[in-house]
Structure formats: C-alpha cells, structure tokens
Amino acid sequence: MNLSRTILVLTALALSLPSFAVKKVLGKLGQATEATTIYSSMSKRSHAYYRVKQYEYLVVNSARGNWMRVLMCDGRSGFVPAETVAKLPYQVTADVGGRSGDRSGGTLASRSGSAIANYATNFVGTPYVWGGNDPQRGIDCSGFVKQMFGQIGVSLPRTAAEQVNVGMPVQRLEDLQPGDRLYFWEKKRNKVGHTGIYLGRGYFIHSSHGNGGVATDYLGTQKWLRILVAARR
C-alpha cells in the first residue's frame, strides 16, 4: 500500500479555528473508536487502502447504511465500517480554491495537533485562575487544554485526572508530536494534577500557577521530567 496517497488529510489551514481563514466544507470530523480499515468500496472483501489506529481522526463525507465514506489525501474516497467511527460535532473546512488533498503524507492526528499547538500560543499571558475556563480572562491547566481541544470538536473531561484516561498513549518522549497532551503528577494531592500541550522541539504550553498564567516551558528539565507520568494523543 502507498500510505502517502491514502492517509487521511487535514492541514492546519483546514481547521476551523478563529485564527484561520476557512471556507469550503470537506466533511465532518470523525474519530476511530477502535482499530479499523479503510476499504476501496463498501465491502470488507475490497482492496484495503489503510489501517486506521484507535483514536485516529478521519474526515467523514457521508454515511451509507453500515458504512461511512471518508476523504483520503489524494482526493479519493474510501469506506470504513460505521460502527468503528464516532462522528464529532465539528465541520472540517479548507480554503476555497485550495487543494482537496495533501500529497505530502502525514496523519490527520498529527496535522490537527500542530494546529492546536499553534493556536494555543495565542493565549500566552492569560492569567491563571483556579477553576477558570476563559482563555482570554483566566483559566487553569485542565481548563486550558479542554478549551483548546474544544476548538476542533474534541470534548475532553474537565480535570487533568480525568483527561489522562482519554486518547491514545504516547509511550516514549521521542515519539511526542505537537498537540500531544502531557500529564504531570501532583505529589500534594497524590494524583495527576497538571496538564499541558506539547509544542515540539522539547517545549510545551500550559496554564501554570507558578508562571502566573499561560506560558511555555521546556519539558527536558528535571523539574518536569520527574513528574511527567503520561502523554496522550
């Protein structure tokens, strides 16, 4: 299989975030609830284009009986069993006149993650407020992560201790990608008590009481590495 031609596409410009100009609707955002396969037609006996991992994002064009039609990066359509995909309340869009697909490869999860990471940096300097949910006026760590992912229709639980149970685990530091969620142990409360979003090149962004609000930090310091307990995608 030529994965560069069949992997799903969503570039940063395709995300409907406030800082992006988007016009053309490509479909709905979907997420695989289990590992599944994209087929060339509505039959498991047809050609298998691509193996989708659990929690991977897809662009869903339509539903046909027990199948969902999804967009692939060369502009063609593939089909996945409907019971293996959850549709999220978010429209995937792209610039009018732009390419319908991206032949450079890369998964939808990695591209949407990069867009989330870039978008999150717009809020550097927002004050830290315990229990806050406003990325402009005041927000805490888990509220910040929840609000950022909410921009692409991904609904996360409210607290870091709950969020850490959602998503695909990232086992090694070298596998981290922009947009991955980081979770840290809070000794005082004896549980996962802090979270942030990985930006790339060893840095992450979070709303921190110690920093006075939303700021970036270097993950490679012992301060953070010794309490990092999980990463999710």
115-160 residue pLDDT tens: 888 889 989 999 999 999 999 999 999 999 999 998 877 889 999 9
Please tell me the predicted confidence (pLDDT) of residue 1: 34
Looking at the predicted structure, is the pLDDT value of residue 17 above 50?
A: no
Give the mean model confidence (pLDDT) for residues 70-95: 80
Cβ contacts of residue 149 below 8 Å, gap of 6+?
Answer: 116, 155, 156, 181
**Which residues share a beta bridge with 57?**
31
List of domains in the chain:
3-106 (2.30.30.40), 115-232 (3.90.1720.10)
Most confident stretch, 11-15, 22-26, 53-57, 58-62: 58-62
Q: SS3 of 129, please?
A: coil
How high does pLDDT run on average in the chain? 81
Identify whether the C-beta of residue 15 lies closer than 8 Å to the C-beta of residue 112. yes
Identify which has the larger pLDDT, 33 or 81.
81
Looking at the predicted structure, is the pLDDT value of residue 4 above 60?
A: no
pLDDT class of 77 with cuts at 50, 70, 90: confident
Predicted TM-score of the model (pTM):
0.59
Active-site annotation, residues = 141, 194, 206
**Which residues share a beta bridge with 169?**
232
Looking at the predicted structure, is the pLDDT value of residue 11 above 80?
A: no
